[in-house]
Amino acid sequence: MNKIKESIVLIGGGGGVYRIAHFLKRIRSNITTIQTTFDHGGHSGQLRDERGVLPPGDIRQAILALADDKIEPTLRKLLSFRFEPQNGSSLDGVTMGNLFLTALTEITGSLPSAINTMCQWYGVKGKVLPVSLDDADLCVELNDGSIIKGEGNIDTRSIDDDRTIVRAFLEPEAFIYTEAYQAIVNAQKIVFCPGDFFTSTIPNTLVNGFKDAIEETKASLICIVNVMTKKAETDGFTATDFARVLLKHIGCDNFDAILCNDPACISEAIIVKYSEEKAHPVVVNNDELSKFAERIIVRNFADQTGNIVRHNVKIASVIASL
């Protein structure tokens, strides 16, 4: 299959960028991912604290997503392999890909060099870029005025905590990585991917220079709205809320297109399961949403395999056709 060499930049973090990149690479060959580098939870956070490196988790997932599908299967498994708990071993919960990137960072002297090396090993045709090389923590202010510092602390907030996020910021300030800036400026399409909204998507927009890059680019801006809400971050959010808050952070009035899952497609079993975590299908109001985009596309984009809701492969063909 001949792939159109169209410059597409995916912005986000974690599983959201992974799925979009993994699907899209089959029909587009010039994909750049830009990930947040402010995680402070799990093994990534531990490596950050102990070794002084930027958290490698989201970068690792993007490399795996864009890796050549012909790569030997064991090598793919090795990049995502996580050690199961075993009698309190120091390797419990450790991900091999994170160790690879950390080792390569120390060997090559920088995270970009480490990423480039691993991309060569795994046959990545596009680019994987950190949004910033600065060491900063994500912070949020809640509606009672309190501050939570650290991505991990924000992400794991109790579902019984009814306070809402009113502001996100970085401490200290961070500046956009030069290559990430240029990728945004030169892109033809920029896709804001789904994922944990305030801990994966929004952090990218908080670095100094991000808004400048968006203002300079002539790219089409595409927003993919989450399928489900998340209690700690987006409780009660509609598709309009996702679009409005994201536009405020990137300094724009409108997207060229907003892609939403049709909530009517979510099975009752999934709704019941997610309601245990106080999460619900994101409601789409076309009349309200049309104020924020030239095109609103609402379809069944939900993969509900294994009682977990994620975006399915259909999302890639829609992005490519816009």
Neighbours of 236 (CB within 10 A): 11
Tell me which of 86-100, 247-261, 271-285, 306-320 is least confident. Answer: 86-100
| pLDDT, the chain, mean | 93
Nearest alpha carbon to residue 56 among 93, 103, 10: 103
Are 294 and 252 in contact by the 8 Å Cβ rule? The answer is no
pLDDT given for residue 18 in this prediction: 94
Q: What's the average model confidence in pLDDT over 275-290?
A: 96
Question: Which whole-number Å values give the CA distances from 301 to 29, 36, 59, 102, in the listed order?
Answer: 22, 24, 25, 35
Nearest alpha carbon to residue 320 among 1, 4, 32: 4
Neighbours of 312 (CB within 10 A): 18
pLDDT given for residue 2 in this prediction: 59
Distance CA 306, CA 75 (A): 25
Tell me the sheet residues that pair with 12. 35
pLDDT given for residue 44 in this prediction: 65
pLDDT score of 1 more than 60: no
Q: What's the average model confidence in pLDDT over 30-34?
A: 97
Nearest alpha carbon to residue 122 among 173, 74, 57, 175: 74
Residue-wise pLDDT tens digits, 87-144: 888 888 888 888 989 999 999 999 999 999 999 999 998 999 999 999 999 999 999 9
Tell me the fold of 8-37+129-321: Rossmann fold (3.40.50)
- Which one is predicted more confidently, 44 or 197? 197
pLDDT given for residue 237 in this prediction: 97
Whether residue 194 is preceded by a cis peptide bond, meaning omega within 30 degrees of 0, is: no
Model confidence pTM above 0.85? yes
pLDDT band at 45 (very low <50, low <70, confident <90, very high): low
Residue-wise pLDDT tens digits, 228-246: 999 999 999 999 999 999 9
pLDDT given for residue 41 in this prediction: 61
